[in-house]
Structure 1
Amino acid sequence: MLMKKHLLQLYSTLLESPNQHSMVTMPERRSCSQLLVSLLCFVLVLDSTLSFSLKNCSYSSSEEDAEYIMVECERHGLTVVPPDIPQNATTLSVAVNSIVQINRTDLQGLSRLKSLRCDFNLISHIESGAFTDLGNLIIIVLNNNKLTYLVDNMFLGLSKLEDLSLSSNQISLISPLAFQSLNSIKSIHLGLNNLHQVADIIPVLSNPTLKTLVLFHNNFSSFQTDDLPESASNLTSLMIGLNPLKKFNITKDVFPHLKELNLDGCTKDLVWAVGNKKFLQALTDLTIGGSYITFDTYTAMIQASGSLKRLELYNMNLVLVADVVEIACRIPSLQTLLLTEAELGTVDDKLLCACSKLTELKLPNDQLTNMSDHSLQSMTQLRILWLNNNHFSKLPVTIRELSLLEILDLSYNFLSKLDCLDFHDLKKMKSINLNSNRISSLQECLFETLLDLENLDIGNNSVFSVGDSFKVNLGKLELLNLQNNQLDVIYPGTFRNLSSLHKLNIESWQNYVVFHGAFEGLDNLQSLTLTLFEFTEELFMGLPQLKTLSLLMPVNVNHKISMQINTKPFTDLPHLKKLTVVIDGSHQLDISPDLLSGLRSLEILLAENFFKASVHLDTFRFTPKLKNLQIVHSDLSDLTPELFWYIPDLKELDLSNNKLKSLDFLAQAKLLALSVLKLSNNDLSVINETVFQFLPALRYLDLSDNPLTCECSNSGFMQWIQTNNQTQVVNGYQYICAFPVRLQGEHFLDFDVHSCWMDESFLCFISSTCLIMFVLLTSFIYHFLRWHLTYAYYLFVAFLYDNSRKKAGTPHRYDAFISYNVHDEAWVYRELLPVLEGQQGWTLCLHHRDFEPGKAIVENITDAIYSSRKTLCVISHHYLQSEWCSREIQIAR
């Protein structure tokens, strides 16, 4: 890693403009740069955390944990486990697919895998030895499949497995040796299956390391220890609720370590038979429920253990609630009582009078509208009270009596007004949750006595003004949530006394005014979320330790507005590390290039719909430590490389949901440390793969939902996706062609690039070379061999002519054709003709007398020869020197 850092720094130096005094020439500089790029690529290839393109999966790693490598293959319609899973993966998910079985070879070589998710598939068979190579696996999830039978050694090789989830299958049989190899198993989930009897789970309970067993929603009609072997189990948690249990019978000490038992949703005929308290002497947590369970059964279940600390009662018959609660609260060890879905409506003075030793009371979802003024009077030890998800319109007066109360949850009620006396005597209070009520105002005296308050949540109410309610001494308050209220103004000094506040959220969809000095006194605030309509220079004064700032700027959706940000609002935030700016709605925004002035520690900038259409070149010159930049939903169509020269350490760049048409700006952006690049939902159709050569650290690239064209112009990029061994192109094999029309809907990487392999310039070179050679050859032949070719042509024609005459049987017109030179013409007429024609009676063919006028001489010669039975050549010196005479004798031959 150190070597990589030094190489990046050196390469960055070489890319800078050459100094006028430098002794290194430009060619030398270019050679050095090329060498360094090669070295960087070599170093990066050796980095084990690098990723690559997978056909049906995405690949991610963590800089904080170098060993963490996650492969995610969810929702791809897979029918088999993908074969290209990297062998250095530590987490693998093939959930939500259509995989039918897991074969022995599917997971071979994945020895580093620690977590495996195969839920929501159609797996009905797991081949023996399928998990043999997964010796380091800790968690496996096989929920929501079609498994019916767990066979011997099904989980062979999983010696380090701790958590096995098999819920929502169709399991009805478990082999005695199914879990034999699970030497480290702690938790097994078998809920929502078809198990019927205790004997079915003996192979599970016999595992000595098992601590938690979940059996919800099966078909157990009884649970009797008579069906179990004598050996004791080490089980500490048994969840057997929501079964049609009619009998729960423990007759021997097989669960000496059982601490938690869940029997929620039992039938009305349940028979509870635990004859000796020693059998459940370790039980501390009991969950029971069912509207048909009798009082005697409830009593027997609650009194089965003498060390019960936590009791949850669900969906009880309203008639039995008071008596069952009284029985429960008389257990000396009981500390926590949860009573839910009981439709109580109200709590009177008697219901909880016996619960004086409780430290935690939870009454959610009980349709409570009121509690009597002294209903909690006896609960002098109560420290935690949950009354969430009820129908209270005002704070019950009885809460004022709980002087030791530390945590109060009244979220999701109908509270509209709080009185000064509501919290006056609750001086030990540390956390109050009033989220999702109807509170409209906060009185100044409301929190004045809560000197130990650390957490206050008043989000999702109707508070329009906080007034002076936070000007009291809340010196220990660390978290304040005022999100989604109806605040209209935040005055100076509103939070001045909250000196320990770490996190403040006043975000709202409604515009409100924030005056200068509103955040004075928040010297330790580290996270601030608020809604703004305009920026001012002094707005964030008094926040020296702020590290995270989130700004929401809502815009009226009915009309565009024009805003100017010509100030430097962040100059007083030298330690800010993360800034989020989100504008909701249409706008016209004039942003100063000095906007980020003062943010010298900024590492993360998330801007949504903020830098509309363009970003000034000097925007990031004040943020040299920026590592993560997101500019999304901003209609950016073009970027210049100079924009990124101020942030050389940038590692993640997200430009999704813009209108970029080209990535050429990356070639000169000097982003040598960039490892993650997201460009989904842009207008990229043709991508030049050479730009990625200038991003030597890139390992994650997302180009989803771009209108890619499936033509030769993208052939280089297609090959790069499939062959590069450094950068993972996320879901690259699922990219779809947008152009041309005939290929719309086809997969981008299915385009045949073979037709694009011939380079156009090379093709032009070959064509022009062939043309030149043809012209030269033609000229050579014409000059030196034209007569030979002419002769050969007519010889061939003569051959065809001769064959045709022989086949037709055409008679000869002449007895002989006389071939002679014009210089010998006198001798032919004086000596030859009188003898042959006069005396012998031959019919002779003479060229000056019998050749057809206008016809080619060669054709006349050919016709004369083939029309004559013989050819007579008058050989003389002139004849031998004549070219045409030579042709005649050659044709005759």
Structure 2
Amino acid sequence: MAANPKKLRSKLHLLFHVIFIARVEAFSLTNCTVSGALNDTRVLKVLCYKMGFRTVPSPIPSKVRHLDMSFNSIFQIRVGDFDDLENLRNLNLSSSKISWIQDGTMKHFPNLINLNLANNHLESVSSDLLRGLANLQVLRLDANTIQSIDTYAFTGLKNLRVLNLTGNNLRQISNVKPVLAAPRLEELYVAKNGFDAFDSGNLSKTPLLLKTIDLSYNPLTRFQITDNIFPNLDFLDISYCGQDRKMLWNLTDKTFLNSVKTLNLSAVHFPEDDLITVLQEVHWASLLKLKLNNLKRMNVGTLLQYACLPGLDVLRMHHNRISNLTADMLERCSNLTELDFGENEISQISAPIFKEVTQLQVLRLQINKLSRVNDLFRNLPVLKIIDLSRNRISALTCSDFANLTQLNTLYLYSNRISNLPSCIFKEMNKLEILKLGSNKLLTIGTAFKNDLPFLKVLEIPFNKLSKIHKDTFMGLSGLQTLHLGDNQISEIEDQAFSRLQNLTHLSLSSNRITDKTIKDPAVFSGMPNLRSLDLFSNVISYFHDTLKMPPFSLLSSLEILAIHSQRHGIGKLPSNLLQGLTSLKMFYGGNMNLNRLHPNTFNSTPKLYFLDLSKNTFTAEASITAEVFHPVPRLTKLIISRVQIRSLNFLLKANLSRLSVLKAPENTLDIINMMLIQSLSPLKYLDLRKNTFTCDCSNAFFINWALSSNYTQVIYLNQYTCSYPPSLEGKSILDLNTESCNVNVGFVMFVCSSVLVIATLLVSFIYQFLRWQVLYAYYLFVAFLYDSSQKKKQQQNSFKYDAFISYNTQDEAWVAEELLPHLEGEQGWRLCLHHRDFELGRPIIENIMDGIYNSRKTICLITYDYLMSTWCSKEIQMATFRLFDEQKDVLILIFLEDIPTHQLSPYHRMRQLVKKKTYLKWPKRGEDTRVFWQKLRIALETKEGPEEEKALLSGQEKPDC
């Protein structure tokens, strides 16, 4: 099987350039992503989540600050799995199926602040499990199966402030008592632990610093506080407690919980009277926020009479199956500033219901069944936020939001609104955020021609808009974000956005915009501060290399352009499409079925630092060239995943001196050589997953570099697999034994230099003493090869010429005046001459061989000049080879000058021919030439040599004539 030249070249290249890199601390943590510099303890992150690890990966950089190994299958952790990580502040080991951690492991993290062990299989917390974590502030042990906590497990956690034990099997509140040994504990989450009772005496007899306690989702039958152990409690959650059994509420002193500001009583299994008693009798002096969600069995009207406590600020009542809000429900809620009736079944609201809550600033009625607004909010002069999303509102009137002069946020998305009256927003002078997505709007009309100077965000996605008219948004001078995506827009009039002087983000994605829609640059005029433009998922396509009017030429401030994922492919990307975008920094051009990038594509975008070209088709070698990147020297991040490239060699001369991130997964890359790596010296992250790597010595440098580099991280290196040779297909590229590729460079250089010296001496010797013999042997060999290919042709085709004339240019006059008139003029022979019959532009040696083998005879005109000519020497050598090979009389020698035999000695082959071959002499001046021409005619007519010629050809000497 023939060797692959590419691989041979790679091996030879490696032979002379293998670099042995010392194994210092490097980005060799298999499968993990390292973010930040290895010597920067402030930002160094190691992310190893969702990697399928069964053991702790190693080595972990010693200066790591954030380490995430969640969502693996580690099962057990031993002391020796970690080295000392003094800079580590955050450790995430959640969702890793850990059932056992060896005591003493945590001593490796003396400065740890956050430890996440949630969603594992830990059954207990031993006395030494957390030893050494003196600086720990947040500990998550939720969603384990913990049944017991050692008495001294938390004694060393002097700075612990937050502890989450939700979702364990502690069963008794007394089992939680050991955690109180942490002197600064402020937040304790013990929901879903199967507690059937909460008795403060089983937890502590002395006051605690706790500010938050979550007891939700426990099947409590009793909630009892007999001592004032919560003097600082701010948040109390007992939601979803009690389950199917009645829960007893007992406070021996009504002031024990007077510091609570947030109380969650959602879905508590109290009888209605008991819940009213709790709200009425407990001294809630500081209560600001009350959650009464999911109390479906209670009378909401009655409940509201007691829920609106004097100082209450926020009331939430989700999932209570409320269908009507009547006029007197909120009579006692005059101090409320936020009211949430979301996720109910409200279809009717009596307008007077809000007459008493005049201080209301936030009203949430989302996910209900309202069909109309009906001027509900006229009694709420200070209302700032209204959420009416996900209702059934189909029509709006001019009075619906009248007098809401303080409103700054209005959510109307996911309704059935088909029309916006021109007067609908006329009095909302302070409106800042308006969301109208997922309705049935066919047109915007003149709703935004009224002045809304403070509106900053307008979202109208998922409607049925088809055209944007001129001056549609003329009253929105302060608008910063406009979202018109996911409509049916196919036409935009010129200057449709011309009044949006402060607009920074415009989204027109997922519409029916074509290249004709944005043909005129005036479509985007009037937005001098636009920074981001979304045009992805439209039907824009081009068929010309350049455009007469580049569509973005007026957007000189644009920094982000997303034009990816055009539905039918963009066809071609015109070389001047981006003309005018002198501030562009990020370009999304993926999934457009591009097959080529013009070298001038980014000529107008010198500030570009992010480029995404993924999911295109760059199969041809010249699809992307180095010249494409010359105008963007600031490019920092390049994404070319799934573009079918076979090589990254176009980056060799791209001059990307700032490129720090290169992502090229899912291509057909096979070899990453040293020259490419050296050309990308600033690279920090390299992602080449799912490529077709060759696992031989051609990739040895890449593997060694990937494992040893302390600057560049090859992301998920352990996932790289072999595609060649077939015997290693599917194996990890790291299984390649690169040591076998290492060579003794000194020995190789010695051998090479020795061979070079010997070759130099040999060439010098041959040139000095044997150059003519070697030259003759070369052309004899060439003639032999040519003769073999011509034999079959001669068997099928007749000769083109009767004779090939070999002569020196000095004798061209004799040929023209004597030879041609007699042989062609009088005798009618067809002759082949250099100046007349050689094919122009063809190598001369090929012309000579064709001339000789396409002629029955070869006539050599011998003179002193002929013997001195290199080309004449080659011609007679080829003719001689034909003479001896074919065993036929194909050579005629004519001496135009008297040349003694001894003067032929330098031309050894010529002297042998003269001795063995019959030849003719041109008569001297004044002698009759008729006999000469007659003999030449006879020689040309001879088809086979006479007997004596045959004898000569057998090697017998013939006497001189």
* Alignment partner of 1:736 is 2:721: yes
Say whether 1:645 aligns with 2:622. Answer: no
* Partner residue in 2 for 1:545: 529
The DSSP-based 3-state class of the residue aligned with 1:733 is helix
| 2:472/2:496 contact within 8 Å kept | yes
Q: Give the match's secondary structure for 2:238.
A: strand
Match in the other structure for 1:701: 686
Which segment drifts farther, 715-724 or 453-462?
Answer: 715-724
Tell me the equivalent position of 1:831: none
Shift of 1:769: 7.2
* Whole-angstrom CA distance in 1 between matches of 2:135 and 2:234: 24
Question: Do the aligned residues in 2 keep the contact of 1:563 with 1:587 (CA within 8 Å)?
Answer: no
CA distance in structure 2 between the partners assigned to 1:161 and 1:685 by the alignment: 47
TM-score by length of 1: 0.77
> Displacement of 1:515 after TM fit?
1.3
1:687 paired to 2:678 = no
Output one character per residue of 1:791-819: Cα deviation in whole Å (capped at 9) or x when no partner. Answer: xxxxxxxxxxxxxxxxxxxxxxxxxxxxx
TM-aligned CA distance change 1:696 to 1:763, over 3 Å:
closer
Cα distance, 1:610 vs structure 2? 4.0
Could you say which residue in structure 1 is the equivalent of 2:182? 207
Cα displacement (A) at 1:119 = 0.8
- Identify the residue that residue 602 of structure 2 maps to in structure 1: 620
Q: CA deviation at 1:327?
A: 0.5
Q: Which of residues 261, 266, 269 in structure 2 aligns to 1:284?
A: 261
Secondary structure of the structure 1 residue equivalent to 2:249:
strand
**How far apart, CA to CA, are the structure 2 residues paired with 1:517 and 1:676?**
39
Q: Any idea what SS the aligned residue of 1:661 has?
A: coil
- The corresponding residue for 2:832 is none
Mapped contact 2:569–2:592 kept (Cα < 8 A): no
Q: Within the alignment, does 1:295 sit opposite 2:272 as a pair?
A: yes
**Structure 1 segment 455-534 matched on structure 2, within 5 A:** 455-508=433-486, 510-531=488-509, 532-534=513-515
Note the C-alpha offset of 1:189: 0.7
How far is 1:87 from its partner? 1.5
Deviations 1:439-468, CA, capped at 9 Å, x for gaps:
222111111110000111112222221111
Is the Cα contact below 8 Å between 1:104 and 1:127 reproduced in 2?
yes
In the alignment, what sits opposite 2:251? 274
| Cα-to-partner distance string for 1:567-620 (whole Å, 9 max, x where unaligned) | 322222222222222233223533332222222222222222347111111121
Which residue is 1:71 aligned to?
A: 46
Of 652-661 and 121-130, deviating more is 121-130
- Displacement of 1:725 in angstroms is 2.7
How far apart, CA to CA, are the structure 1 residues paired with 2:558 and 2:27?
34
Distance verdict in 2 for CA 1:407–1:390, change over 3 Å: same
Hey, what's the Cα distance between the residues in 1 that align with 2:152 and 2:298?
Answer: 48
| Contact 1:371–1:396 (8 Å) recurs in 2 | no
Are 1:406 and 1:429, in contact at CA under 8 Å, matched by a contact in 2? yes
Aligned CA distance change for structure 1 residues 393 and 709 (closer, same or farther; 3 Å): farther
CA distances 1:335-378 after superposition (whole Å, capped 9, x unpaired): 11100111112222233232222110011211222223333232
Q: Tell me the equivalent position of 1:310.
A: 289
Distance in 2 of aligned mates of 1:345 and 1:717: 68
- Asked if 2 retains the 8 angstrom alpha-carbon contact of 1:737 and 1:746, the reply is yes
Aligned pair in 2 of structure 1 residues 278, 163: CA closer, same or farther (>3 Å)? same
Q: Which residue number in structure 1 is paired with residue 92 of structure 2?
A: 117
Match of 1:196 among 155, 167, 171: 171
Unaligned runs of at least 5 residues, structure 2: 1-18, 763-961
Match of 2:321 in 1: 343
The residue type equivalent to 1:390 in the other structure is N
**2:78 aligned partner:** 103
Instruction: Return the offset for 1:623.
Output: 1.5
> Partners of 1:678 and 1:621 in 2: how far apart?
23
In structure 2, the residue matched to 1:326 is 305
Is it true that 1:178 corresponds to 2:153 in the alignment? yes
SS in 2 for 1:691: helix
1:391, distance to aligned residue in structure 2 (A)? 2.4
Distance in structure 2 (CA, Å) of the matches to 1:413 and 1:141: 40
Where 1:605 maps in the other structure, the secondary structure is strand
For residues 476 and 336 of structure 1, the distance between their equivalents in structure 2, rounded to whole angstroms, comes to 27
| 1:445-456 correspondence to structure 2 within 5 Å | 445-456=423-434
- CA–CA separation in structure 1 for the residues paired with 2:416 and 2:111: 52
| Structure 2 equivalent of residue 888 of structure 1 | none
What is the letter of the counterpart of residue 528 of structure 2?
P
What is the alpha-carbon root mean square deviation over aligned residues? 3.0
Distance 2:749 2:418 in 1: 78
Matched ranges for 1:569-608 at <5 A: 569-608=551-590
| Counterpart Cα distance in 1 of 2:299 and 2:447 | 44
> In the alignment, which residue of structure 1 is the partner of 2:822?
none
CA change 1:62–1:472 in 2 (3 A) is farther
Moved more, 255-264 or 618-627: 618-627
Whether the aligned pair in 1 keeps the contact of 2:573 and 2:594 (CA below 8 Å) is no
* Number of residue-to-residue matches in the alignment: 725
Q: Give the 3 Å change call, closer, same or farther, for CA 530–129 of structure 1 in structure 2.
A: same
User: SS at the partner of 2:305?
Assistant: helix
Secondary structure of the structure 2 residue equivalent to 1:692: helix
The residue number in structure 2 matching 1:406 is: 384
- Equivalent residues of 1:206, 1:233 under 8 A apart: no
Q: How far apart are residue 287 of structure 1 and its match?
A: 0.3
For each residue in 1:35-68, what CA deviation from the matched residue of structure 2 results, as whole angstroms up to 9, or x when unmatched? xxx9xx99xx99x9x97232131112389x9821
| Mapped contact 1:286–1:311 kept (Cα < 8 A) | yes
Cα distance in 2 between the residues matched to 1:518 and 1:538: 9
Q: 1:758 to 1:407 in 2, by over 3 A?
A: same
TM-fit CA distance, 1:282: 0.4
What secondary structure does 1:261 align onto?
Answer: strand
Unaligned runs of 5+ in 1: 1-37, 777-893
Which residue identity is paired with 1:545?
N
Q: Give, in whole Å, the separation in 2 of the partners of 1:631 and 1:188.
A: 46
Q: Which secondary structure state, in structure 2, belongs to the residue aligned with residue 589 of structure 1?
A: coil
CA contact (8 A) 1:54 1:733 kept: no
Aligned identity (percent) is 33
The answer to whether the 8 Å contact 1:197/1:221 transfers is yes
Going from structure 1 to structure 2, the CA distance change for 1:415 and 1:599 (only over 3 Å counts) comes to same
